[in-house]
Amino acid sequence: MIDKTILKTTVIFSFIIGAILGVIPLIPAFTYFAFIIIMFFTAPFILIYLSYLKLTDVNEIHQTLTVGALSGFCSCLGFSVIFFPVAFVLQLIFKIDSFIWIKVIFYNIGFLIPMIILTALMSAIMNAFTAFITSYFLIYFYQNKRK
């Protein structure tokens, strides 16, 4: 069973990371950079941070997978809450060509919500995997450090 403080900390930091990364792609050159970070590197950062605070044990695989999946899902939702409305407003005001697809998506809101949920689920799966790999490396380096 996972402690509630670990879950709360994971959700809060994931939303914060997602919100911060939701601002970065407003510069069109960094759109893919922020998306790659959300899809793969949110969970390792949070897992390392939680192990630094001594809130989690990286030896428990189910705990690292849960933290990874939860951080991936929540960071993608935090990203979407910030990025899509701000990009829509910027496209309406400044007529930025790189955000023209945002205008089309907002006119069809029935497409936007399933797209966000599907992307968040993919991010959860990828971040669970990277959390597993991170816990493996943390265990490996910690055991070699003790020898």
Q: Which two tokens stand for residue 145?
A: 């450090």
Tell me the residue range of the domain where 78 lies: 4-146
What confidence tens digit (pLDDT) does each residue in 116-126 have? 999 999 999 99
Query: Domain tally for the chain?
Result: 1
Side-chain half-sphere of 13: how many Cα atoms within 13 Å? 19
Query: Do the beta carbons of residue 11 and residue 69 sit within 8 Å?
Result: no
Identify the residue with better confidence: 79 or 98: 79
Q: Is the pLDDT of residue 146 over 70?
A: no
Alpha helices in the chain (DSSP H): 4-23, 31-36, 42-52, 61-94, 100-107, 109-146
**C-alpha angle with apex 86: 83 to 91, nearest 5 degrees?**
115
> Model confidence at 147, in pLDDT bands (50, 70, 90)?
low
What confidence tens digit (pLDDT) does each residue in 2-47 have? 889 899 999 999 999 999 999 998 887 888 899 899 999 999 999 9
Identify the residue with better confidence: 54 or 1: 54
Q: Which two tokens stand for residue 98?
A: 């790189």
What confidence tens digit (pLDDT) does each residue in 59-92 have? 888 999 999 999 999 999 999 999 888 888 888 8
| Residue among 117, 17, 2, 12 at smallest CA distance from 65 | 2
Query: Do the beta carbons of residue 76 and residue 119 sit within 8 Å?
Result: yes
pTM of the model: 0.88
